[in-house]
Each structure stands twice: as structure tokens, then as C-alpha cells.
Chain A
């Protein structure tokens, strides 16, 4: 089909080549005692093998999200119906042969231990028959998700998915302020890109644009899809109108007019003209080049950084040993320099470095702010609710009232959530800056100080300053394997399935108009009292549960950032001590052994240098590609 398209530009290092480079690196590190470096490369390898690029498809219900996915992968994996169809998020990813599974909450742990990080332990993955899946995830077979499924997973052998693309079908968002909106928002930080689907029957509505604005703050990589262009003769007008609206929000968002029906028909008839007309090739190209391409560029950069840093670390000790062997006279000087560097590194590690302070202070502040923010918002809601209850009789309208309450609470949490997410990313960047300022200066300068003896070391471009985009790393860390999807289940658990309300009807209006005069004063007073107690208890629960969730999330962010930088600092330290040890050993070794050892090390060094150059080439390529595509977009 037409998707072979423009994706195949010659040149960029393929994933296969990268894997080979990492394998080489692993060989070089060997089975020796540098377990830290090996672990780092093993992680890089794991990321390469399972790239998982998540694209979440969002939009109000009945806009054709599921059909869009079906047409994209050309298989009826997501249930499509005239009535509301999707009740459970579905993840479509690569897998051969085709298979399906549902994720259900695992039975409670007997010790009641909450799943702190990742939380995967609370999920059970149950394989199901692919043919049974639609019945399980559709509104018909599973009304209101009564089976309590957290998500469904479909693996398909499709070319478009091979780059690691995971497409997530979300249950429709009902508008602004809904708990559905909230669950979708919470899943967004774990997504690499978002497709906002809206059909061609009308231009964007207010709730849609409001959602878009909120979502843009979490995930900047957004594409808009105008669906069902086959059905509406005037779709070009709607496209124009939507374009105008998008330009006001963010002009760089692309808009793709599509017809899923034409695409499905095209693949049935093997008609490439029809496929072109469906508008899908443009979306496929976008997913390939911009979404997958960008994710791959980030990945290539991070792998090349890993390789560079590993080779630098390896070279440091090899280089010092070979220098010591070849130039025994300079050895004491070199040893002294290395020793000084090591002591300084040690000290810096002991008194907690500035980045660590930044991190722990930052997280503590953030948690305190978050708690304050959440409480403040909820308290305002509580006040409004209590005023409203005082003005009327809560009894007859209790169901509506509790729904109003849920919606307000959901909206408040959405805001807090978006805000925390922004702040934690900013914090990660801040820590990275401080880390770089602290650590970079240390070994490079000192090693260079040791004079001509260590001349070649001078070329070291600075060990990895930990800039392997910590923000990305934080996001990846939070991702877990099912992390984002879990939030869907969690929040629906707290709130039940409430809907939304762009018409902001205050609670006062809701209750105030229904003054039931006939009621006995005392009974009314009692009911009001009970209602207020219920509201308070509910909000208390929410503060507790959500506060815990958000706090856990932030702690996870903290741990991820800390581990990331600590690891890098430790690697440094190991390399410096290894160098000292190697140089000392060299000084003590016998002359006849020297020749052989020098040869060995030279050989090793050559390999390390080769790998280093290869990694550098990849890094340069990524940067070049970045500026190229940047120019293309701008």
C-alpha cells in the first residue's frame, strides 16, 4: 500500500546498527568488574528492543476514534457502533502472530501493600481470543465497564506498527470538567503524541478547544484529525474554520482531513487511488516521520550518549594504565593528579552536591505546593457546596448535586495535575543544569592538569553531563509498562463514571430554585447537616487519595532523577579509582610484561576509540536531523 511513502530516506543509522554498536560496547565492557557500565548498556539495549512510542487518540465520543485506528491498522480491533462503542482504553501495538489480552486489576495483596512505584504488580494480564475482544471492550458487552477492565491490548503484525508505535484508543471525552477528561489528561504525560479527533460535521466546539489547550500544556506533540470527510460535502469549509481555531491555539498543529470508510474500502479493493483520497497517507507519513521519527531521534541521541559516556569511562582507566606503562617516569605525577581528582570527586559525592539539594528541596516544595493547591481548590468547592446546601433542600436533588460535586472536583484535580506535571519537568531541567555545573568541571579539568603525560585525555569532550534529556527520562520513568493506562482505572474508581458540563451551572442555581417550603424546618436542618457532612467526608477522601497519588508520582519523579544522576556520578568515581589502580599496577609491573600489556591495551583502546567515533557520528547525525526537521516545521 501507499505507506511505503517517503519514510525511507537513506542515511540514518538503523535500529539494527545501533543494536550492533551497543553489543560491541557490551563486549568491550566484557565480563569485567564494571557492572555499572554494563547495566547502563543493558538498559539502552532494552530500550532499543522495545521502543514503545505511544500515540493516544482522543476526542469527544462519536467522532470516529475507533474507526480511525481500525482503518490505520486495517483490522477491526476497536469496536465500532452507531451508539457509543468504546468503554475501555485499547492499546494496539506490534506483535506477530496477532494476539489480544485484557488487563484486569490483580486480586488484593494479602498484606495490603500499596503498589508504590510502577504499580504493575497490581495488574494481571489475561490473554483472550482476538475475536472476543470487541465484546469485552465495547459499551454493549461491557456497559459502563462493568467488568472492571483496565485496558485491552492488541498485538498485530502490521508494518506501520513496527517502529514501536503503540496506538491507544481512549473512551470518548464528554467535554470539559469530566472525569473522562481527567483520566485522558493523566494518561497524556506517558504519551509521545496525541491525535485529537473531531468529525467534519461542525467546527470545534468550546469544550474541545478547552481540552486542547489543557492538553497542549502536557504534551506539546499534537496533531488534529478531521474525520468522516466522506459523509460531509462541506468538510473543506469545516477544515478552514478548524484551521483558524487551531492557529489561535498553536499554529504548528497539523490538521489531517480523513475518511476511515474510504481507507477501509480502499484496502478491501486494493485501490491505491482511493487510499490517497482517504487522506490517510498524510497521517501515516506524519506518524512515521514526525512522531516515530522524533521519538527515534531522541532514542538515538540517548543511546549515543550512553555509548559515548561508556567509552569515555573505559578509556580513562585504559589510557592512564598505558601512559603509566609507557612513561614510568611521569607516573608519580600522574598518580598524584588522579588521586587529587578522586579525592575531590569523593568529597563532592560525600557532601551532597548542589544538584541533590536542588532536587530534594524542589520536590519538597513541589509536594507542599501541590498539597496546598489541591486543598485550596477543594476547600473552595466545599464552601460553595455548603452555601448551596444552606439555601435549599439537598434531599430531592442529591443525585444531581453529587454529580455536580464530582465534576467540580474532577476539574480541580485536572488543574492541579497539569500544573504539577509542568513543575516537575521544570525541576528536572533545573537539576540537570546544576548537575552539569557541579560535576563537569571536576574530572576533566583535573585530569587535564596532569600535563603532557595525559595529553590524549585532553580530547575528552567532557564526560556525560547527564543531559540525556532528564525530562524525557523522567517521563520514561513514570511510564512503567502500563503506568498511564493505570490512571484510567484508578480515577474511574474514585469517581464512578460521571459526565461533564460546559454550561457552568453553579450549585446554588441547582439547589436554590428548589425551595421545598412544605418541609418541616427541623427535618430540613437535619438533611442539610447530613449533606454537608457527606460533602466534607467525600472531599476529605479525595484530598487523601488524590494527594497520595500525586505525592507518589512526585516521589517517583524524584527517585528517577536522583538515580539517573547518582549513577552517572558513580560511574565517574569508579572510572577514576580504576585509573588510579591501573596506573599503580602499571608502575609495579615488570618490564617484559609491559610490552605485552601495552599491546593489549592499545588494541583495546583502538576498539574503544572506534566505538566512540561511531557513537559520535550517530550523535552528530541526530543533531543534523533535528535541525533539518526543525527547519522543515518552522
Chain B
């Protein structure tokens, strides 16, 4: 199914190019979208100022390259994409793109704008040989609600352009607590016109989760509870697929744990608990403390900056409780920071749907073009667009998912929840759709899929099912059939092999 969606979108763009071929501007835009279909999924990292966007981005990439600071830092939209050699390109609003010198301080990139004002820069493009970037292009955006209004405005303009489809296919939205401005932003992101399936391309992250509980060792549990509450919040539910708590700083540093860090942490772990707690009452105290000997002030400062009090507390406890080696410790820290669950959700929700999401962006673009510059021959194109939107099952799934999470449907709550799961609300893998354990055998999965199919067929035929819910049943049945068809294909291959 997936290849045909991409092919359909590509075909639609070809068709559009024929209609708009003599309009150089429109043609350039369309060719851009055609290229995008073959590129990795574009995920924007957005949020209010100081939500920890660049830090999280570093954590996902697994390298500390994006600059971060205590003050407001990111002022220009910056793209991080995969490339074999590192390269930074500056795209000014007017004029030719040019390369920037590659300068790094402590590993982080320093963008030497060389006299160009931030407001004259459209975006920075960083190519970096990081494996994580092969699967997705990450876009770092300036914070919303920034004190310098034009910086905020730049972000908003980038993510929710007035007149065209968004540059990003999906968005990770970072928030420290659910402010209404967060809600409003998500709202404006999800309803970009023609695709109309909203809701399915945004994921909320409760960032700086370690600070939720004031750096206590159980902070992340607390953050988990809050994230859980937010994800049930009807306002947020219709705007984002889920809420994941992440301690960004810890995640970033855990993925880049260095030997000196580890040694310093080990040294701290030798102190007894009372002394440790006394020392860690405040960051200042920690830095001033004389114990344990051999830990320089410089080392303390670096530990604080890289891990925060919470990270240090957690690492020390872990070292004392069965993680005496750097590598397992780094893994455990990354897991506890919430990064692993986040990557998993990203994979499940965005990567598995990458083709559909990209195709959707392309469709939105064509739809906008049709709206803004109708011309002879565009009726034909509009019909193709309509056909593609109505027929591609992925789009119907996305649309239903959006409906389930926003307006709701006339179904009993348990049934609605099940429908959401089967059409891929938790992820598109068969086990996730069927609500079974990840290691379930194909037979078990197939049996469950058949049971679901039968149940939904009965629901569709039942005279008690309201008319409005029939369309829901049809989509769910189609999804069940899709799962079964996949198994059938696999079986046939297995037999022929």
C-alpha cells in the first residue's frame, strides 16, 4: 500500500507540473516537493523559549553539535541533515547561499555569520555525518514567546506559513508545562488546510522533566504521571499523538558520556549518603564542596553543566547499584532520561508513517497551489487530488485518527479506543495495532486480526450501529484486512521459498 501512496503523490506532482509547467515559480516549488518525497522525513523541534529544543536535538543526534546556552540561544531556523562531510550553508533571504566556516568550541558548532544579521537569514543548513540523521532531517527552531518578537515570529512563520504547506512533515513540540500558548501553537500547526488529517503529525514532549520534581531522584516518575495526565487532557489529545517526558540534558550527556565524567561520578559514589546529600543541597554547595578529594572545581563545574543535580544524583545511585562500567551506565542513563521511549515513539508514530506523512505534505502543497492559482486544466488535477485523498487507505486512517481524537465518533468508548488502536493510533506495526505483546507469533497475530475483523464486520452490519459510525467501521475493517493481507503475502513468500 505504502509504495503506491508515494507513487500516487509523485504522480500527482508530475501531473501538476504539466499544468503549471510554464509558471517557473510554481514549477520550482513542485519540483522541490517531488524531491522531498525521496528525502528523509523532516521533523521540526519546536517549543517555547528555553524549553530545551537544541539540547533534545543533540540527544537525538547523539552528538553535541547544536549550540546551547543559559540565555536564549537559537535565533535562526537551523536544519540538520545527513551528509558525508560536515558542511554549513547559510541561506540568506535574498541572495545566493554561501558556505560558513566550520568552527567548533567544545564540540559545539559556532555559527560565524560574518556580519550578516540574523533577521536577514532564511535558514542555516548543517550537513553532518551522524547516523541518526540518515532516517530523518531535524529542524531546530527559535523559541516561541521570546522576548525578541521577531525571533518568535520567525519560528511561527516557518512552522505555520500562511500560504503554503509547512516545511516540516512532523513536529516534536517541547513544553515544560502545558501553557495555553503551547496548545495554541499545536493547533495552528495541525490544521494546515488540505491534508486535513491534523493531529497525526505532532508529538508533545514534556521537556526538562528532571526539573519537574526539583531534581529529586524520583523526578522522572513524577514527570511521567504529569505526562500521563496531559496525554488524557482533551485539549492536548486532539493536538498531539502523545506526551513523552524527557530529561533532555541528561539524555544529551548520557549519549556522549566521557571517561573523565565517569571517573568523577565514580569518585562521588564513594562518599556516604549523608555527606553526599549535604553536598548536593544546592548547585552552589556542590561546586564549593571540598569532598571528595581529587575532584577539581573545574570537574565539578563541568559535571553540573552536563548532567545537572538530578543527573549526578541518579548516576551516583546507579553506580552504587550495579552499573559500575561506563557503557552500561550511559545506556541506563539514556533509558531513564526518557530518550529511549521518545525514540521509540518517534519510530512508531513518525518513521512508520513517513511515506504517508511526506505524501500528505505534497498533497497539501498541490491543494494550495490549486486554491491560490487556479487555471485551465486544473479541474482535472483537482479531481486526481480528490481521488488520491479519498482512496489511499493511509489517508483514510489518518483522517479517522484525527476524527477520533478531536470530534469523536458515535461509538461506545471501548470500541472507539479499539478503533483508534487498530487504525494505528499507537503505531502501525501489527502487534501495536492488535494490542498484543511485541514478540507474539505470526499465528497468534493473524488469529487476533481475524477476530477483530469478524467483530467489526458484525458491528458494521448491526442495525444498532449509527449511520455516522459505519464509515469508521469500514476503515477499521480495511485496516484489519490490511494486516491479514500482509501475513498472507509473508506466508506465500515463506511457502515459495
Contacts and interface: CB of A to CB of B under 8 A. Distances in A.
A83 B226 contact: yes
Interface of A: 60-62, 82-84, 174-175, 178, 201-207, 209, 228-235, 237-238, 241, 245, 259, 261-262, 265, 274, 277, 396, 400, 498-503, 505, 509-510, 513-514
Contacts of A62: 176-177
B229 interface: yes
Given A175-B179, A206-B149, A262-B282, A83 B71 contact: no
B419 interface: no
B283 interface: yes
Contact of A261 (B185, B187, B193, B281): B281
Best-buried of A84, A204, A231 by chain B (most CB within 10 Å): A231
A511 to B, nearest CB: 10
Contacts of A505: 184, 187-188
Interface in B298-324: 301, 304-305, 308-309
Given A82-B222, A499-B179, A500-B179, A203 B283 contact: no
A233 B226 contact: no
A241 B214 CA distance: 22
A268 to B, nearest CB: 11
B180 A500 contact: yes
B15 interface: no
Nearest to A500: B180
A82 B217 CA distance: 13
Contacts of B285: 277
9 contacts: A60-B179, A61-B177, A202-B70, A203-B147, A205-B50, A229-B282, A230-B284, A233-B284, A233-B308
Given A82-B222, A503-B145, A230 B208 contact: no
B280 to A, nearest CB: 9
A503 B185 contact: yes
A230 B283 contact: yes
A513 B226 contact: no
A502 B282 contact: no
Name B's interface SS: helix
A261 B282 CA distance: 9
Contacts of B146: 205-206
A230 B309 CA distance: 9
B214 A209 contact: no
A175 B181 contact: yes
A274 to B, nearest CB: 8
Contact of A277 (B213, B225, B284): B284
A500 B193 CA distance: 24
A235 B283 CA distance: 9
Nearest to A395: B407
Contacts of A205: 48-50, 145-147
A496 to B, nearest CB: 13
Contacts of A228: 214
B88 to A, nearest CB: 27
B152 interface: yes
B329 to A, nearest CB: 22
Contacts of B183: 499
B203 interface: no
Interface in B154-202: 156, 176-177, 179-181, 183-185, 187-188, 191-193
B177 A503 contact: no
B72 interface: yes
B211 A207 contact: no
Contact of A207 (B145, B184, B282): B145
B287 interface: yes
A500 B211 contact: no
Interface string B213-234: 1110001001101100100000
A396 B213 contact: no
B311 to A, nearest CB: 11
B283 A396 contact: no
A262 B177 CA distance: 24
B144 interface: yes
Given A203-B147, A261-B281, A503-B144, 10 more contacts: A82-B213, A82-B219, A203-B50, A231-B214, A235-B283, A241-B71, A262-B281, A274-B281, A499-B183, A513-B193
